[in-house]
Amino acid sequence: MDDASALSPDPIRPGIGTSGTARNWPLNSWWVAAHGSEVSEKPIMRWIMELPIALYRTESQEAVALHNRCPHRWAPLHMGEVAGDRLICPYHGMEFEPSGQCMKVPTQDNTPSAIRIRAFPVEERYGFIWIWMGEASLADPDLIPADLAYLEDPAWYNVWGYKAVNANFMQIKENVLDLTHFSFLHKNSLGVTDWNRPPKVESANGRVTYSQFFENSPLAAIYAAAANKTPGKIVNRETWGTQLSPGAHHSAVNIYDPDPEPNGLSECFARVVHLTTPVSVGKTHYYWVMARDHGGPYDVEQTRAFIGKVFAEDVTMLEATQDMARRAADQDEALEFSVSADRAGVTGRRLVAAMTDAEKMQQE
């Protein structure tokens, strides 16, 4: 017998975000294209904002991002090879420089200068390759949030991961701007159940930050392991999170123990970084990093497994949420009802929407 709960209408919209089917992201911002360890002399391809992007490194290890479509017959350039600094088309051998300029057409002596592809500004920082999909002249590397410098600080441990998500990038950002879902969505995995009041929210300079202090709070197992303490011990917990840019967010959990064990830590700091890059309106590349300042031995595999489990709960929820919208006949009548705890999320959404709208208006 078939499963009646498995039969659903075909999706009507290709994806849904907070602003319908149109893009709800600005192009003029830095977005994570890949982790640095993923890019080498062997080119790879990534879809970013509905464009195919070829990524590779030159001989001097500089990362390069080119539009992954040969202007001759549209072959995906990443299937070709890199020779020196050039990317060679796998189909007819045309050679492209990091600038996107074609330097050689093997079957003829002259190379028309009009044969060129778009090159995208890239910067490698904090372990990641950041890409600028908009107007190249605006691509100021200083716009990459310097707040993430601890990712390159040897005094911090970190572990990164990636998840392909069938949901709009803004859904992921709003999810991490309202952690009151801990008590429900993650009640069996995180074990943090005291996040039952909205945090303080502040917004300035295109950023939004929530913060909350939990005094005399029992230490959840997840934080106890990081701090090398006994789960359930009464400590103070400081939390905050900041939407740094449309593509970057990080959050903090700082444990303060007024009564540390002999040789125990009185402070323990952790950060979670969420780097979300749109593939299309309904799909997102989701890179994350879990970082900790110091303390006992840091079990990379265990951390990755644990974060993987918790984030899978988020992703399952976000994908189901989008599915409720994509397939439903009444999707256009579906208004969201926001409550107090949504202040940070709604502010974050408006900040990104304002950037996006301003950019779109300028293009018209």
Residues 66 to 95: which contact its own copies by CB under 8 A? 68-69, 71-76, 79-80, 88-93
Q: Which of residues 228-267 bind its own copies (CB under 8 A)?
A: none
- Around Cβ 85, how many Cβ atoms within 10 Å? 19
What is the CA angle 46-33-43, rounded to 5?
50
**Cβ 267 to its own copies shortest distance, Å:** 28
Residue 11-40 contact track with its own copies, rule CB under 8 A, x = bound: -x-xx------------------x---x--
Please report, for residues 150, 207, 269, 338, 361, the alpha-carbon distance to residue 246 in angstroms, rounded to integers and kept in the order given.
20, 9, 25, 21, 18
CB closer to its own copies out of 222 and 341: 341
Residue 275-314 contact track with its own copies, rule CB under 8 A, x = bound: ----xx-xx-x-----------------------------
Name which position in 10, 259, 301, 364 contacts its own copies (CB under 8 A): 10
Name which position in 142, 184, 301, 361 contacts its own copies (CB under 8 A): 184
Name which position in 60, 107, 188, 263 contacts its own copies (CB under 8 A): 107
- The answer to whether residues 289 and 158 touch, using CB atoms and an 8 Å cutoff, is yes
- Residue 104 binds to its own copies (criterion: CB under 8 A): no
CB closer to its own copies out of 175 and 242: 175
**Cβ 122 to its own copies shortest distance, Å:** 15
> What is the pairing mode between strands 86-88 and 128-132?
unpaired
- The answer to whether residues 219 and 235 touch, using CB atoms and an 8 Å cutoff, is yes
Report which DSSP code applies to 12: S
CA distance 274 to 286: 7
Number of H helices and E strands in the chain, helices first, is: 5, 18
**Cβ 179 to its own copies shortest distance, Å:** 10
Name which position in 164, 234, 305, 354 contacts its own copies (CB under 8 A): 164
- 41-49, 225-233, 243-251, 347-355 -> range binding its own copies (CB under 8 A): 41-49
- Residue 217 binds to its own copies (criterion: CB under 8 A): no
181 by Cβ neighbours in 10 Å (0-12 / 13-18 / 19+) ranks as middle
Expressed in percent and rounded to 5, the helix, strand and coil fractions of the chain are 25, 35, 40
CB closer to its own copies out of 69 and 233: 69
Please name the helix (run of DSSP H) or strand (run of DSSP E) that holds residue 292, with its range, or none.
strand 283-292
- Residue 127 binds to its own copies (criterion: CB under 8 A): no
Name which position in 42, 62, 83, 106 contacts its own copies (CB under 8 A): 106
